[in-house]
């Protein structure tokens, strides 16, 4: 076990809290949707396990994981962008 | 990991942090989302296997074909979902995408776990070191499976509840105890598996744990009412983030650890902020089964005065000769698809020199910030949208306050009536303005099922009817006057 990873984990917790502490509530929905897209990085996990899959079961489950992860990441970023492009200032 | 790739991963982490940071201001939010997406793409290009070699440098195999097909299918599902969703259904969409992410996290962790559990059987006595899980790695895989699968099933239930299926909280006596017992069994199994990952029964125990975790997600969300789903989704969103981070530990991928942890911690804070806006502790949302405990009847006592109706043309006169008008929009406005009519009305008033603002309660709509999205869709400029804390101190200088489809968030009972279930919830002080006009279809109680004291105040007038129709009538009347 590499303790560096744990170190990064702990720091990331505080960065995550700090970085959104001043978010106005008007942006909570896009923020939730945006962070939702960021955890779509699980697609990588799906790719990694599927690349190494050796049994049909592992391939099937890995395939499902890739579909899920891909829908999460692409759908998440797209829907957030759709929402945010509507925020306009008064002309 | 070579140092070049290490630097790239550091860059990617910075992009994620900046992305979230930019998301916190309306001017930069859209760029923030794109920055995070760019980070994701870069991280994909330098994706490493557990042994430190690039996932793209191996020869092509059937598995890679599956990866490409799967990614494309997911892309299509995501695109269809994103482009077909109505803005009023945004919370459902987020719940669905979150559920898929949770499901993926659970599947990834289980595949890794089962692979490791089987390793000694395949390799006989010689357990390959790379596959021999330390308790820490096994623990993080189990954590990811548990959290990911309950996030998956919980999000599906949250989605269904927002769609109006079994919206009511489903409760029975001893429910919290039963749920607690299930959780205890799950944790017991996890504890056993953490230290016996290569035990002969490990796979069976693992499957039992997986199914129980799925069931627990359902059992956890079922007793919570539809109105509290945003909090649940936000919580499950942070759960999925943590599951992804745990997966990152298990397969030694730093980008996943950073991204997952950022989502996990910011999502937790967001959940707490939402609960704070509703003035309810998070434990009360999750275990309180709000709305089923006879809250509907409470608060009705102590209402004095009568309801005074008003006609549309009278409203038009009031508005046209006002100096400052504040609109308090609620989810009812969006359901009636009235936001475009509202914008038309406010533009018309703006032309006549009336100062128009929108007062946005933190939990207006179905999710915090949902109302802003709905109004933005109707081309209302965001600098007209004022948050509750900013507008409340000047509410007594407002001539006309127009409450459209909002109910609980303007209920003075939250300030005055200690027996009311919403007592203490911050509200928009609509009753402080000179004239308050409430547009409503009927006298039915709001989402929380509580009688609204505002309707009986002396300076309140009620305009009954469909919000859109009466707004259109008013636009016409204002133009004419």
Q: What is residue B125's predicted lDDT score, i.e. its pLDDT?
A: 42
Cβ-defined contact of B270 to A32 (cutoff 8 Å): yes
| ipTM > 0.90 for the complex | yes
B71 CB neighbours in chain A (<8 A) are 43, 47, 66-67, 70
Q: Would residue B51 show up in a list of annotated catalytic residues for this protein?
A: no
Q: Does residue A18 form part of some domain?
A: no
Question: For an interface test with B, which of A28, A51, A58 has the most B Cβ atoms less than 10 Å from its Cβ?
Answer: A28
Give the best residue of A35, A53, A64 to mutate against chain B (max B CB count within 10 A): A35
What integer pLDDT is reported at residue B445 of this predicted model? 56
In chain B, % helix, strand, coil (3-state, to 5) comes to 60, 5, 30
Q: What is the pLDDT of residues A26-76, one digit of tens each?
A: 788 888 899 999 999 999 999 999 988 888 989 999 999 999 999 999 999
Residue A63 lies in a domain: yes
Among B122, B117, B473, B142, residue whose Cα is nearest residue B319: B473
Secondary structure (3-state) at B12 = helix
All domains of chain B, ordered by start, with CATH?
Answer: 87-293 (no CATH), 312-480 (3.40.50.1220)
Chain B CB contacts of A33 under 8 Å are 90, 93-94, 97
Positions in chain B whose pLDDT score sits under 70: 1, 50-52, 58, 117-133, 167, 199, 288-305, 442-449, 467, 481
Asked whether the beta carbons of residue A39 and residue B237 sit closer than 8 angstroms, the reply is yes
Quick check: is A60 in a domain?
A: yes
Which one of B33, B67, B249 has the shortest CB-CB distance to A81? B33
In this structure, what token pair is assigned to residue B421? 């279930």
Cα distances (Å, whole numbers) of residue B25 to A19, A21, B226, B364: 11, 12, 29, 19
- Out of B20, B29, B257, closest to residue A5 by CB: B257
Whether residue A66 and residue B94 make contact (CB cut-off 8 A), yes or no, is: no
B265·A13 Cβ contact <8 A: yes
Q: Determine the straight-line distance between the first and last CA of chain B, rounded to whole angstroms.
A: 73
CA distance A27 to A32: 9
* Residue A74 to residue B78: CA distance in whole angstroms: 6
Q: Do A81 and B101 touch (CB under 8 A)?
A: no
pLDDT for B236 equals: 94
Cβ contact (<8 Å) for B20 and A79? Answer: no
In angstroms, the separation between the Cα of residue B135 and the nearest Cα of chain A is 10
Residues of B in contact with A58 (CB under 8 A): 111, 114-115
Q: Which residue has the tokens 């630097």?
A: B7
What's the pLDDT at B446? 57
Min CA distance, B126 vs chain A (Å)? 19
- What's the DSSP call for residue B324? E
Q: Nearest Cβ partner of B66 from A25, A27, A50?
A: A50
Instruction: Please report residues of B whose CB lies closer than 8 A to that of A26.
Output: 26, 360, 369, 372, 382, 385, 387
Say how many domains are in chain A.
1
* Count of pairs with CB atoms under 8 A, one residue in A, one in B: 383
A70 closest CB neighbour out of B70, B260, B376:
B70
Cα nearest neighbour of B135 on chain A: A1
Print the domain residue range for A49: 25-91
Q: Which of B116, B247, B408, B429 is catalytic?
A: B408
Residue A6 lies in a domain: no
Q: How far apart are alpha carbons B392 and A48 in whole angstroms?
A: 52
Q: What is the pTM of this model?
A: 0.83
pLDDT reported for residue B196: 77
Across the interface, do B101 and A48 touch by the CB < 8 Å criterion? no
Residue A53 lies in a domain: yes
Residue A7 belongs to some domain of the structure = no
SS3 string of chain A? CCHHHHHHHHHHHHHHHHHHCCCCHHHHHHHHHHHHHHHHHHHHHHHHHHHCCCCHHHHHHHHHHHHHHHHHHHHHHHHHHHHHCCCCCCC
Q: Residue A30: list chain B partners with CB under 8 A.
A: 23, 29, 33, 369, 373
Nearest CA to CA, how far is A56 from chain B (Å)? 10
A38 CA: distance to closest CA in chain B (Å): 6
Q: Is residue A10 part of a domain?
A: no
Contact call for B79 and A78, based on CB within 8 A: yes
Q: Which of A9, A71, A81 would best serve as a mutation to test chain B binding (most B beta carbons within 10 A)?
A: A71
Tell me which residue in A22, A61, A82 faces B107 most closely, judged by beta carbons: A61
**Residue A17, both tokens:** 């809290």
């Amino acid at each position: 076990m590499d303790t560096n990873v744990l170190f990064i984990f702990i720091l990331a917790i505080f960065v995550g809290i700090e970085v959104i502490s001043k978010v106005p509530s008007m942006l909570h929905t896009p923020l939730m949707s945006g962070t939702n897209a960021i955890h779509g990085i699980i697609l990588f996990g799906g790719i990694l396990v599927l690349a190494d899959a050796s049994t049909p079961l592992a391939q099937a489950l890995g395939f499902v994981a890739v579909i899920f992860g891909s829908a999460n990441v692409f759908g998440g970023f797209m829907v957030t962008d759709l929402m945010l492009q509507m925020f306009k200032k008064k002309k | 990991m070579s140092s070049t790739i290490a630097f790239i991963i550091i860059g990617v982490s910075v992009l994620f942090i900046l992305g979230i940071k930019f998301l916190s201001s309306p001017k930069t939010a859209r760029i923030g989302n794109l920055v995070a997406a760019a980070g994701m793409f870069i991280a994909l290009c330098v994706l490493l296997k557990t042994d430190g070699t690039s996932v793209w440098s191996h020869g092509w195999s059937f598995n890679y074909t599956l990866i490409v097909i799967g990614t494309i299918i997911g892309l299509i599902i995501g695109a269809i979902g994103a482009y077909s969703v109505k803005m009023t259904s945004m919370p459902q969409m987020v719940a669905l995408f979150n559920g898929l992410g949770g499901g993926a996290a659970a599947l990834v962790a289980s595949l890794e776990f089962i692979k490791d559990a089987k390793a000694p059987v395949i390799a006989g006595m010689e357990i390959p070191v790379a596959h021999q899980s330390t308790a820490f790695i096994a623990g993080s895989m189990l954590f990811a499976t548990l959290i990911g699968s309950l996030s998956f099933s919980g999000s599906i239930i949250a989605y269904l509840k927002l769609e109006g299926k079994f919206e009511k909280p489903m409760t029975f006596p001893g429910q919290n105890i039963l749920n607690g017992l299930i959780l205890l069994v799950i944790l017991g199994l996890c504890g056993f598996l953490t230290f016996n990952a290569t035990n002969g029964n490990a796979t069976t125990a693992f499957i039992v744990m997986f199914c129980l975790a799925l069931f627990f997600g359902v059992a956890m969300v079922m007793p919570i009412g539809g109105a509290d789903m945003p909090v649940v989704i936000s919580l499950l969103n942070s759960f999925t983030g943590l599951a992804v981070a745990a997966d990152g530990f298990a397969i030694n991928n730093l980008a996943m650890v950073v991204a997952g942890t950022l989502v996990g911690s910011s999502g937790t804070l967001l959940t707490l902020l939402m609960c704070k806006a509703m003035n309810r502790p998070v434990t009360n949302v999750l275990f309180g089964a709000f709305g089923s405990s006879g809250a509907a009847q409470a608060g009705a006592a102590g209402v004095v005065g009568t309801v005074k109706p008003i006609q549309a043309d009278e409203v038009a006169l009031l508005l046209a000769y006002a100096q400052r008008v504040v609109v308090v929009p609620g989810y009812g406005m969006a359901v009636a698809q009235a936001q475009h009519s509202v914008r038309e009305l406010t533009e018309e008033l703006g032309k006549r020199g009336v100062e128009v603002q929108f007062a946005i309660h933190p939990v207006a709509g179905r999710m915090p910030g949902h109302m802003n999205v709905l109004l933005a869709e109707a081309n209302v400029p965001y600098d007209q949208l004022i948050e509750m804390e900013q507008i409340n101190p000047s509410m007594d200088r407002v001539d006309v306050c127009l409450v459209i489809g909002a109910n609980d968030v303007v209920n003075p009972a939250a300030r005055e009536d200690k027996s009311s279930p919403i007592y203490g919830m911050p509200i928009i002080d609509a009753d402080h303005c000179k004239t308050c006009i409430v547009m409503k279809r009927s006298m039915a109680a709001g989402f929380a099922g509580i009688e609204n004291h505002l309707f009986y105040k002396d300076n309140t007038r009620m305009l009954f009817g469909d919000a859109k129709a009466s707004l259109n009538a008013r636009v016409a009347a204002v133009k004419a006057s």
